[in-house]
Amino acid sequence: MSTNEAKRDDRNRVVIFDTTLRDGEQCPGASMNRAEKLQVARQLARLKVDIIEAGFPIASPDDFAAVQAIASEIEGPRIAGLARCLEKDIVAAGEAVKPAGDRARVHVFLATSAIHRQYKLRKAEAEIIRLAVEGVRQAKTYVDDVQFSPEDASRTEPEFLAEVCAAVIEAGATTVNIPDTVGYAVPEQFGPLIGYLKQHVPGIDGVTIHVHCHNDLGLAVANSLAAVQHGARGVECTVNGLGERAGNCSLEEFVMALRTRADAYEGLWTGVESREIHRSSRLVSQLSGMVVQRNKAIVGANAFAHESGIHQDGMLKERSTYEIMRPEDVGISGTELVLGKHSGRHAFKAQLAKLGFVLSGEELERAYADFIALADKKKSVYDDDLVAIVQERMEETPEMYRLDYLHVSTGTVPTATVRVVKGEESFQDAATGDGPVDAAFRTLERVCGVSGRLLDYSIQAVTKGKDALGEASLRVSFDDGPAVHAKAASTDIIEASAKAYLNCLNRHLLGSKPAGDAAAAEAKGAV
């Protein structure tokens, strides 16, 4: 421990509450299954976040199971489950986080702003306070650590907000979170709002004040920084700034702002292991399917890239001329282990561990077989290839049909011939389309006997080089039913597209539905 670290004052520690697995996963197209969430949770533990909000247990049986699994298996951080101030929500959250023992937290919320009171809840102020207090008291029957969030706090009258906070603190809340739910706040007003609560809420010095800022105006990090300057000691954030609409406060940006500008935020610190930031960013990007923009601060591909001749000259003479952080401080070493077909299981397993993946014996064998098959197609297999291999194994797509053969021809009439296997039987057909991908999709629909409507389609290179692995991510609605989402990867983007479409077909045919009922969907945008 350095001298500076030894002198750190715990009163100035800023708690990092990571909600990548809850609010981050609510970003359209970013849903993850239980296995993927567990891998992200393990990496968050390595990142040394203080609290992991593992999900919204009432949303679906899968979400409940994921929160429960994380509470059972992840050591270190506190594990939180989100709940509305409804009995069924709190019961689900309390049961889901129970395996975490004294590290379990239930996070209850209720809207407080005038616009929510009038149009969404249709309840008076007194009723809001009563429901909030009842929610906290019920949560206290499950855990000692209860967090309360007045949803849309930044648009709530400060006097009423203070009254609500005082009531929930008296009821037993140990953390009060002040959300900027719709990203409406600006730093000049949001910081002083925290200061106002510090002055006008009885008992607030005995609890932790968190903030949860959204990025609709691009101010989530700025608002969070203003809040901690005015007394907040917890920031709710996500890896890569993932989240509803324009996203949440970016964990990596907030943490590195405090660290890099220690002169401006004197005494404030976090316990985050910053050298795990880049690895966390890559893992979340791969498993969520949400690409990190190249010019993203801290973790973007261009964050430490210099093209200008003037900048390059300065960098060669002294790095600090154009870099305010060292890439090593966020885990960018500049080196990458390249594996090939002659690499053994030990090297393969060791590199997966470095990337944040822990696989069981059977899972490792299946992934290694996929790795060898890919290595036969590519000269070199990079880290991102390995992530894609493991990610595809985590898709948990049940296989009613399996792709056995695909041949496409282009020209004036693009045609695809497809053979799929179902049990012991095989089926083959051909169809034309507007292009080779469309032809493959239409052929798969003919073979499987369903009609689909493509809602979203994206292709991205997940590795580098001319033989890069391409990942296809699709959202499809079949027979006007609910949308299903699936991904697949291959060195051939047409094959990746066909495999992803077949994964969607399998999910539809086997009755897989999106998580959450109508009530849970209504609450998804909370805090």
Angle ∠(393,396,398) on CA atoms, nearest 5: 120
In this structure, the answer to whether residues 488 and 424 fall within a common structural domain is yes
C-alpha 495/C-alpha 147 separation (Å) is: 47
Q: Are 367 and 313 spatial neighbours (Cβ–Cβ below 8 Å)?
A: no
C-alpha 351/C-alpha 512 separation (Å) is: 33
C-alpha 477/C-alpha 277 separation (Å) is: 36
pLDDT (0 to 100) of residue 518? 47
C-alpha 498/C-alpha 89 separation (Å) is: 39
In this structure, the answer to whether residues 59 and 28 fall within a common structural domain is yes
In this structure, the answer to whether residues 354 and 483 fall within a common structural domain is no
Count Cβ neighbours within 10 Å for each residue of 34-44 and write b for 16 or more, e otherwise: bbbbbbbbbbb
Q: Are 80 and 53 spatial neighbours (Cβ–Cβ below 8 Å)?
A: yes
DSSP-based three-state secondary structure for 371: helix
pLDDT less than 50: residues of the chain:
1-4, 6, 307-308, 310-311, 315, 335, 512-519
pLDDT (0 to 100) of residue 458? 87
In this structure, the answer to whether residues 200 and 283 fall within a common structural domain is yes
Q: Which domain holds residue 113?
A: 3-298
**Nearest CA among 24, 10, 21 for reference residue 292:** 24
Final residue before a domain boundary, out of 241, 276, 298: 298
DSSP-based three-state secondary structure for 129: helix
In a domain, 502, yes or no: yes
Give the number of domains in the chain: 4
Distance of CA 114 to the CA centre of its chain: 30
In this structure, the answer to whether residues 323 and 349 fall within a common structural domain is no
Enumerate residues 6+ apart whose C-beta is below 8 A from 106: 80, 81, 83, 90, 93, 94, 97, 139, 142, 143, 145, 146, 147
In this structure, the answer to whether residues 163 and 260 fall within a common structural domain is yes
C-alpha 94/C-alpha 79 separation (Å) is: 11
Count Cβ neighbours within 10 Å for each residue of 81-120 and write b for 16 or more, e otherwise: bbbbbbeebbbbbbbbbbbbeebbbbbbbbbbbeebbeee
**Nearest CA among 189, 89, 97 for reference residue 131:** 89
C-alpha 464/C-alpha 438 separation (Å) is: 26
Enumerate residues 6+ apart whose C-beta is below 8 A from 242: 20, 23, 24, 25, 27, 30, 248, 284, 288, 290
In this structure, the answer to whether residues 323 and 369 fall within a common structural domain is no
In a domain, 339, yes or no: no
- pLDDT tens across 458-503, in order? 888 876 666 777 888 888 998 877 788 888 888 899 999 999 999 8
pLDDT (0 to 100) of residue 327? 87
In this structure, the answer to whether residues 363 and 437 fall within a common structural domain is no
**Nearest CA among 243, 234, 177 for reference residue 214:** 243
pTM of the model: 0.78
In a domain, 432, yes or no: yes
C-alpha 341/C-alpha 296 separation (Å) is: 34
Enumerate residues 6+ apart whose C-beta is below 8 A from 168: 132, 133, 136, 148, 176
In a domain, 406, yes or no: yes
